[in-house]
Structure 1
Amino acid sequence: MIICKNCGAEVNTNYCPECGQASSEGRYNFKHLVKDILDVFFKFKDTIFPTIADSIKSPAITTHQYLNGKRVDVYNPIKYVFFLALINSFLILQFKLLDAYLKSQDVVQNTITKFYTSNISIVEMMSIPILSLFSFLFFKDKKFNYSENVILNCFLNGNVFIFGIVLSLIQLVFRQNSALIILTNEYFNYLSMIYMAIVYMYFFNEKTLKGFLVSAIVVVLNYLVYGILLGFISNFFY
């Protein structure tokens, strides 16, 4: 007799009779990661809004539940971050919300930001493998594999996109105030980094000053490597 990891019902078949989840769901691994990537293109579930609510309220708990097998009622995390990245980039590009910020940058930063805004969805998704590598290496003693770190950072980046969407909607109201747009974008970047570090603390159960500092190092390293990579790639296009 097997206990379903999603709903807790007793299962003696290949699929849970209560929720339909496969009874063989084990630890999240590379096979699951490939399946979730394929699901982005071939499946659609209506669980995104409950997942948004749960992930915003308790990102660490939502990720742990997904990795531990509670997946039927949770939106595919790769599709989650991709969907939210598309909405976020649509608002930014459609309403030119970064134009004022672009004008405030020097030549080098402006080139990178132009490339970023022109390819925002793809570029944002590029950061997840990098961030996952750093979180995997710095918290290796927590025994989470690389694929599990990818899922954590999909939920985490998806949440940051939600905050970005809210910010974009607010900026639409004040879009004529260039100084405010520039200021809010600057603060948003810093607050996002702090938010990510705090989520790492809770997910990896390192709720100490040392845990926060290690988490902050992971986030800062990601931004540095990500920025260098963006600069390198943007030179080929601008």
Structure 2
Amino acid sequence: MSNQSSCLNCSLDSIEGANYCSNCGQALNTHRFSFSHILHEFFHAFTHTDKSVFGLISGLALRPGILVREYLNGKRKKYFNPFTFLLLVAAFSILVLGWVGEFHKDSVPAGSVKPSASGKSIDPNMLEIARRAKKVGEFMNKRQNLVMLIAVPFIALVYFLAYKKTGLNYAEHLVANVFFNAFVILFSSVLFYPLMAFFRQPPAMYWVLVPMLLSHCLYYAFAYGQLLQVKGWMGWVRVFMVSALAIILWSSLTRTIIGLYIQGG
């Protein structure tokens, strides 16, 4: 179709010679969908510089703080929506964790608590604790990404309290953490989650978990250092300490909740 006299999306009368609607931004030069058009739109969404997923991933890898600062300062059209990106990354990580979960399915024997050789009955409380521990293990194997998603508002709060004088409000810290957390989940899904398929039990499992948490801490320090335009080595030390504090507090809170659940508290 050629340019319309009114926008087909919001019905606003178009300005003569305009290519886009002044109200909603939709292109006035519309046409019927074809297979070639669908392919073009698909590859455009992932590879085009403007709002490209790959462009966003590259930016979050090399200049995350600068990218987020531009987004917070008003360059919204330039970048892929962070919340949509987070949902896409979460969906991808679910697929990866599902694959990892297949490896872990039989790593914890169903009868991890067995009757003693003397024939004495097992304490029902011990059986329940073992059942809850196994359930938590299965949940963490399959829903590690959910735990990381819930961490977003918590880590944002820690940074907000630590850097209140920078002028960023809590909502802006939350948006920044959506960007950063999405990249962290993507990075973990590509590198660390597959390794969990091979390192299934403690202490080998910690060879994956410890480097993963350390990488998260380093990335947050790098990203926030750029966002806050940190100067001097003391500034970088502080932003690293805040990152470590946020991750340690969240890990401690998570372990406490898990422990209370396992003990039946």
Normalised TM-score (structure 2): 0.60
Unaligned runs of 5+ in 2: 1-17, 25-43, 46-51, 109-129
- Tell me the amino acid that sits aligned with residue 183 of structure 2: N
Contact 2:100/2:194, CA 8 A, preserved across alignment? no
Shift of 1:132: 0.6
1:115 Cα offset (Å): 4.3
Match of 1:230 among 254, 260, 264: 254
| Aligned twin of 1:216 | 240
**Counterparts of 2:217 and 2:249 in 1: how far apart (Å)?**
14
How far 1:95 sits from its partner (Å)?
A: 2.2
1:165 alignment partner, one of 174, 189, 192: 189
Q: Give distance in 1, aligned partners of 2:163 and 2:57.
A: 26
1:53 maps to 2:65: no
1:97 Cα shift?
8.1
Using the TM superposition, give the Cα deviation of residue 21 of structure 1 relative to its aligned residue in structure 2, in angstroms: 9.3
1:101-143 deviation per Cα after TM superposition (whole angstroms, max 9, x unaligned)? x97xxx9998865543343333211111111111111111111
Alignment partner of 1:92 out of 94, 97, 108: 97
Aligned length: 195
Distance 1:69 1:167, change over 3 A: same
Q: Which of 133, 137, 147 is the matching residue for 2:157? A: 133
| Structural mapping, 1:67-146, within 5 Å | 67-96=72-101, 99=104, 114-146=138-170
CA distance in 2, matches of 1:117, 1:189: 16
Q: What amino acid sits opposite 1:155 in the alignment? A: F
CA shift at 1:216, angstroms?
Answer: 2.2
C-alpha change, 1:19 and 1:61, in structure 2 (3 Å) is: farther
With 65-74 and 82-91 compared, the bigger mean Cα shift is at: 82-91
From the superposition, tell whether residues 224 and 186 of structure 1 become closer, same or farther in structure 2 (CA, over 3 Å). Answer: closer
Structure 1 gap ranges (5+)? 1-16, 24-44
Secondary structure of 1:95 counterpart: helix
Percent identity between the two aligned chains: 20
Structure with greater helix share of residues: 1
Q: Does the C-alpha gap of structure 1 residues 183 and 68 become closer, same or farther in structure 2, counting only changes over 3 Å?
A: same
Q: Whole-Å Cα distance in 1 between the matches of residues 186 and 60 of structure 2?
A: 10
Q: 1:63 to 1:115 in 2, by over 3 A?
A: same
Judge conservation of contact 1:133–1:146 (CA < 8 Å) in 2: yes
- Seen in structure 2, the aligned counterparts of structure 1 residues 183 and 224 have a Cα distance that, compared at 3 Å, is closer
Q: Report the Cα offset of residue 73 of structure 1.
A: 3.1
Q: Secondary structure at the match of 1:122?
A: helix
In angstroms, what is the RMSD of aligned CA positions? 3.7
CA distance in 2 between counterparts of 1:64 and 1:18 reads 30
Distance 2:60 2:192 in 1: 20
CA-CA distance at 1:170 after TM superposition: 6.0
**Are 2:172 and 1:148 aligned?**
yes
Which stretch shows the higher mean deviation, 158-167 or 115-124? 115-124
